[in-house]
Structure 1
């Protein structure tokens, strides 16, 4: 009898896991509480994989030998609790995929900067001619690529939710950008639970492996000693520090190990302090993989950036419109505001994840000339920001948000969509939110 694998959730990661499970000869079944997108149905049907949508049928799930859970399903969902009660192992798609490949794994996590850093590392590896796949929160799922391709390297963006159900998976290079409060609604509102999830990225590392992290992050510094870390440390920092693998000195970015080289800070394609850190982490990763310094310099200089992350849309009547829809937490918005060179009208709001807006209070006072609250429930925004005395507007659609911003912003100012919140109250996803913003701006 083939071992039975049940996959809960049939999005990118679930469908990919099913394809790999079937290829490995498992009795495979997919169940999704929502409707499954037609492209994933086709993927399953072409391979003869059984699936159901709009429900979880207990007798088809509770008989699993192992369950692969999509990261979006909370750990306290009723079906998950039933599986746990009977002792069924529950793993993530990344954990499952890792069993069937010997590729080198470069894994990136952090509260902010992970998509940009992941994309940047992939860009350098590709440019260097390496046989590399891009997976995790971006691109095709790791499991699908392991089933269908044969890469030597994978560059993987990992969320805390993916890390939650990873146990034996092994990152050859682990990158931890930073840790700030996020998703606390999924971690019993306990910061330590979230921190522990992030640090799972270094579990199973050996003496051959590397751990790259931001040296000046107070939480990382506080936690480092708790974990028996086997890999070599490669910290990056804004200023020259003892042991730093990358730092800035006199407008030069200095990489110290394993191969030392410098590049002018102004040659970096990405601007702003946060992107400096992203570039350092990516440069160290590429350096560790043995990529030539000339190639790393060139790739860090011609990277095009990530969609929905401080993406310049266009200028209308002397006002710049910037799409930072990917800012789904307060710290992301802090980085965005910090990088603004002009007075700014900020569009924020959406599904609040237990946000603390104190973090951006000073920057809002310093940089903002108007605030637009875009969400179904804006009471918390009013309560916090109204005392600042800035002009505000309440909107429930992107068109109204852009129209309000158009009326508020003067020539030489900017309009920034950097919501601090998840998008699910008014939009399908942060991508949908960003696309709508760009469409509305271009239609002005």
Structure 2
């Protein structure tokens, strides 16, 4: 859908949390007719924000008015199985995710990152690389948003075509995409998680992750973890039919195209020749899992023409993400680590 088409449509946003509010405001700014509905009480400060944006709203239950819409927009916390969403689907109302809607307003290339684990770290690291790359390019920015805590809809109206948008996207955000089209997508891993949202069907969960590349084609890139069987099968099976370029990351040598680890050195091969980048022990982030995260960031940036020296500097100087394997201090020989995922 185009921003111009939004003006002629009636939208119902389901969910009054941060992403729902952001989507409602975005659509209202585009002069669409917007109604927000929320099953629970209004989060603090929500109603004044919606009133100022001119968004009609209801809380503590969904009324029939919610179904008077051309399309629904779901906040990530709202499951497809919820009664109001099922009613909309039965009524033939299109249902979209918040990132899908925000992408209608984005003219800049998108680097979208998903996976069961490592999304936030890799998104932050990739954004850091692009921000370093743009230091000497006034007016050009790297915008980091999405599931990382900054709704895409809150920032997309400020994005210029010369910018790069780095998005963390969850399976919930990918459930209802239609035209969402990253220039580069990254799949880190897929392991059983959130299966309650997918009727305890791992394959359905994996397919939601694979929606990240459903609209990619010739000229686009998918960076994928070749060492994860589910990811490898999904990407390599789709590459030929979709036409995108698959670039593998692996800790088992250097792939034909992508990036890998060889003799404890990070080596990129995004063109026809090996490009040694740095030693593994120069990476700022520790651990085997962070080698994958660093490879994903490096390959994504390199195919977007970021210089190797900038990538090297960024990967060695990154300070990490708060609460993600964050080293606190060592007491009596014991290292204490702050890790929200643990």
TM-score above 0.5, yes or no: yes
Counterpart Cα distance in 2 of 1:93 and 1:278: 25
Please identify the structure whose Cα radius of gyration is greater: 1
Q: Does 1:253 align with 2:266?
A: yes
Shift of 1:309: 1.1
Q: How many Å separate the matches in 2 of 1:144 and 1:231?
A: 29
Change in Cα spacing, 1:19 to 1:253, as seen in structure 2 (3 Å) is: same
Say whether 1:209 aligns with 2:220: yes
Q: 1:250 offset after TM fit, Å?
A: 1.7
Contact preservation (8 Å) 1:19, 1:147: no
Tell me by how many angstroms 1:10 deviates: 1.6
Aligned 8 A contact 2:254 2:268 in 1: no
Query: What is the CA–CA distance in structure 2 between the aligned matches of 1:112 and 1:209, rounded to whole Å?
Result: 23
The answer to whether the 8 A contact 1:104-1:153 is kept is yes
Distance 1:304 1:263, change over 3 A: same
2:283 aligns to what? 268
Counterparts of 1:136 and 1:196, CA distance in 2: 20
Matches within 5 A, 1:386-405: none
Distance 2:127 2:111 in 1: 10
Superposition pairs for residues 54-93 of structure 1, below 5 Å? 54-58=60-64, 60-93=65-98
What TM-score, normalized by structure 1, do the two folds share? 0.70
Cα drift, residue 221 of structure 1: 2.6
Provide the residue aligned with 1:52 in structure 2: 58
Task: Say whether 1:96 aligns with 2:104.
Answer: no
Q: Pick from 152, 176, 186 the counterpart of residue 197 of structure 2.
A: 186
- 8 Å contact kept, 1:65–1:88: yes
Paired residue secondary structure (1:38): coil
Partners of 1:295 and 1:262 in 2: CA distance: 10
> CA 1:14/1:234 → structure 2, altered by over 3 Å: closer, same or farther?
same
Aligned length: 326
* Structure 2 contact 143–165 (Cα < 8 Å) conserved: yes
- Deviation string, structure 1 residues 12-63 (Cα, Å, up to 9, x no partner): 21111111100111111111112233343333222222222222122x2010
Of the three residues 42, 54, 57, the one matched with 1:36 is 42
Unaligned runs of 5+ in 2: 1-6, 135-139
Once residues 40 and 133 of structure 1 are traced to their aligned partners in structure 2, the CA distance between those partners, rounded to angstroms, is 24
Find the aligned partners of 1:101 and 1:69 in 2 and give their Cα distance: 19
Distance (whole Å) between structure 2 residues aligned to residue 39 and residue 270 of structure 1: 37
Relative to 1, partners in 2 of residues 1:277 and 1:55: Cα closer, same or farther, differing over 3 Å?
A: same
Please state whether the residue corresponding to 1:10 is helix, strand or coil.
Answer: coil
Partner of 1:232: 245
Tell which has more relative contact order, 1 or 2 (C-alpha 8 A, sep 6+).
2
SS of alignment partner, residue 252 of structure 2:
coil
Unaligned runs of 5+ in 1: 328-417, 419-444
- Is residue 105–residue 155 contact of structure 1 (8 Å, CA) maintained in 2? yes
Aligned to 1:195: 206
| Match status 1:124 vs 2:132 | no
Please point out which of 155, 170, 173 is paired with 2:181. 170
**Contact map agreement 2:236 2:246 (CA 8 A) in 1:** no
Q: Which residue in the other structure is 2:154 paired with?
A: 144
